[in-house]
Homo-oligomer: A and B are copies of this chain.
Amino acid sequence: MPQPLTPQPIAAHPDRLFPADPGVRRIARSLHSRVEGLPIISPHGHVDAAVLEQNHPFPDPAALLVTPDHYVTRVIHAGGVPLDQLGLGGASGLGGADADSRAIWRNFCTAWPLFEGTASGYWLRQEFEHVFGLREEPSAENADRIYDAISAKLEEPGFLPRQLFKEFNIEVLATTDDPLDALESHEALADDPAFAGRVLPTFRPDQYLNIAHPQWQANVERLIASAGDGASGYAGYLAALEGRRRYFVEHGAVSADHGVRTPATLKLDAAEAGRLFERARAGKASAEDRDVFEAHMIYQMARMSVEDGLVMTLHPGSYRNHHGPTFEAYGADTGHDIPFAVNYTEAVRPLLQDFGTAKDFHLVLFTLDETVFSRELAPLAGFYPSVYIGAPWWFLDAPDAMLRFRSAVTETAGFSRSSGFIDDTRAFCSIPARHDTSRRIEASFLARLVAEHRISEDRAHELIVDVVDAAPRRVFKL
């Protein structure tokens, strides 16, 4: 790990992230001012609805900001700190008592210089200043002082989840949910006249579609049983999925999300799909069966989306749990999901053959492989009325990467074919910083086009409102 750097005051400059050229910056500032105050629309993310329903105070700083955020723990781990020193791994780790949280927090503060230049570091910096009112950046020296300051804040009524939700100006927040989730928290929030926000569930059936998942067989049994109509086998399975989607629609869901290995899609006839399903249920499916069945089920999900109107989002291309020993010790989502190359053009063709021009079907394609932006996603979204280009995701949700994205897709697909910003986060307090980052980058990109006389400044003012506010409402049918 590098030597600790001199602590710097946190400077959240009003011109942060804008281009350096004074003329372009003036335009960017003006464009950003147009959208700065607009409400946050978050159509895809991982905040737990129960947090808002229960409205308990957030736990200590480490449990809020470090341990559960694999964007943060992976960087410190790369710097040489074992994950159990960051609170992962339950009893064997440091999580739990106050003393342990302080130790985790000190590890985080000591590692702070590693975050310079990263998107996570930038969000945390904004969060510290704008949410918690800190005036200095973390360091080994001030770790305890900052811990106490944040802890004190977390006990104030203004820092309860619902108060922050309002403070953050969130209008819509979508969660990500198991198909068999009863959605009680969502229901309670919707029924609560004291809570004005919209907290929407998202149907995420990965563990019911991927037959290699250790729980797949058990999940499928529970799924079919949940339908309670006596139907069984492949037909019952499909019907039960349709039923649960309806349940989600009735509870406000607007989209179904799919975390798949590759973007492969495939249409099987019912007999063949049924045989595959039964083979899997009997525990006799091969690796190839797994790929074929998942590709087919993605096709089926598209078919259901055409029927029930749920927007379909696809998140492929991540090698999950890359480091076996870490997965065994600490479980999934611990920072070692590593992207690989994907190819969309051939993979989504079977699906698009049948549904590419289907009325009101929306298919949002995300990628961790930047090469497909100009090569595949912009051309696909530039022809198919159903296809939208997903906003830069995960490792690509960062200032430079977002500028590369806009540059890569706009000349082919314009501004109307992308999804609008998606924060995709489980870090509730980072939501304002993430959306503000995106708005500043949109302003920066448009400002350059204005300065280069490629669009007029008036038109850019209309476009930034469309991109920030109208696009997510339109694409996610909000």
**Closest B-chain residue to A347, C-beta based?**
B340
Binding site for B on A (CB under 8 A): 1-3, 5-6, 8-9, 11, 13, 15-24, 74-75, 77-80, 113-119, 121-122, 319, 322-326, 335-341, 343, 345-346, 349, 352-353, 356-357, 368-371, 374-376, 378-385, 387, 395-396, 398-401, 404, 407-408, 410-417, 448-449, 451-456, 458-459, 462-463, 466, 470-471, 474
Could you say which residues of chain B place their CB within 8 Å of the CB of A78? Answer: 381-385, 387, 413, 417
**Closest B-chain residue to A380, C-beta based?**
B338
Q: Write 22 A-B pairs (CB below 8 A) sorted by A numbering.
A: A8-B456, A17-B454, A19-B452, A20-B451, A75-B382, A77-B383, A77-B385, A78-B417, A115-B414, A117-B449, A117-B455, A119-B411, A121-B414, A322-B349, A322-B380, A341-B343, A341-B371, A341-B375, A369-B371, A374-B395, A374-B401, A399-B411
Task: Out of B18, B118, B458, name the residue touching A452 (CB < 8 Å).
Answer: B18
Task: Out of B3, B11, B410, B448, name the residue touching A20 (CB < 8 Å).
Answer: B448
Could you say which residues of chain B place their CB within 8 Å of the CB of A335? Answer: 382-383
CA distance A122 to B453 in the complex (A): 10
Query: Are A116 and B459 within 8 A (Cβ)?
Result: yes
CA distance A18 to B453 in the complex (A): 8
**Closest B-chain residue to A470, C-beta based?**
B2
What 5 new A-B contacts, CB under 8 Å, besides A77-B383, A118-B413, A400-B407? A17-B454, A75-B414, A117-B463, A338-B345, A374-B395
CA distance A24 to B22 in the complex (A): 11
Task: Out of B22, B352, B356, B412, name the residue touching A118 (CB < 8 Å).
Answer: B412
CA distance A114 to B325 in the complex (A): 50
Task: Out of B80, B116, B324, B396, name the residue touching A374 (CB < 8 Å).
Answer: B396
Could you say which residues of chain B place their CB within 8 Å of the CB of A470? Answer: 2-3
Query: Are B458 and A13 within 8 A (Cβ)?
Result: no
Query: Are A459 and B384 within 8 A (Cβ)?
Result: no
Task: Out of B16, B80, B462, name the residue touching A454 (CB < 8 Å).
Answer: B16
With A8-B458, A411-B401 known as contacts, the answer to whether A340 contacts B345 (CB < 8 A) is yes
CA distance A15 to B404 in the complex (A): 23
Query: Are B383 and A74 within 8 A (Cβ)?
Result: yes
Query: Are A2 and B352 within 8 A (Cβ)?
Result: no
